[in-house]
Structure 1
């Protein structure tokens, strides 16, 4: 998820929304990586989700579903807001989660 989020930010770095919307390659690559973030989120175990409760896992998966399946569509203003606001916050929280995992702070209760 970290890799996908970093790609989203790299593909849109120093871009204005209007340029992003007109840049087919960047637009498509960004949307694809947002989809992959959501897909990866579906594979995060519940105990990890509970540990990282600051991350809105349901919203991430719901966004993925909207992008992939076209549920109600997603407008470019919402998409741009996700890129500019949600992805940087998510990336911060994912790095914190990874640090906790690397430090052995996340324990699988089933283990």
Structure 2
């Protein structure tokens, strides 16, 4: 179980990094900034890999976390990089990550 919490922490930290990288940016600024795009994609890879490492039992007991979507996005970024949609990644950072962070915060003990 401790490993699950370590992976949840990694997921949360990846989200936090993405939030920091993209804070205050518009879509147009993000689109034109290859460094931020690259950093964001790397953190999404970490997020998805950490999600993949969470035990199946834990995943099943927390169906509100989009485990398969996180893992799937990581797989696309890592293995099918030519299919990466920067617009989709941007929308993920703006719409999906804030509620994910809130959900993860509830699952990680002693996280303030």
How does the TM-score come out when normalised to structure 1?
0.83
State the alpha-carbon separation in 2 of the partners of residues 90 and 72 from structure 1.
26
Out of 16, 22, 30, which is 2:32 matched to? 22
Does residue 1:42 correspond to 2:52, yes or no?
A: yes
Deviation at 1:84, TM superposition (A): 0.4
List gaps (5 residues or longer) in structure 2.
1-10
Shift in Å, 1:72: 6.5
**Paired residue for 2:95?**
85
Instruction: State which structure, 1 or 2, has the greater radius of gyration over its C-alpha atoms.
Output: 1
Structure that is richer in helix per residue: 2
CA positional deviation for 1:74: 2.3
The number of residue pairs the alignment matches comes to: 100
Aligned to 1:75: 85
- State which drifts further: 16-25 or 1-10: 16-25
* TM-score for the superposition, normalised by structure 2: 0.83
Aligned CA-pair RMSD: 1.4
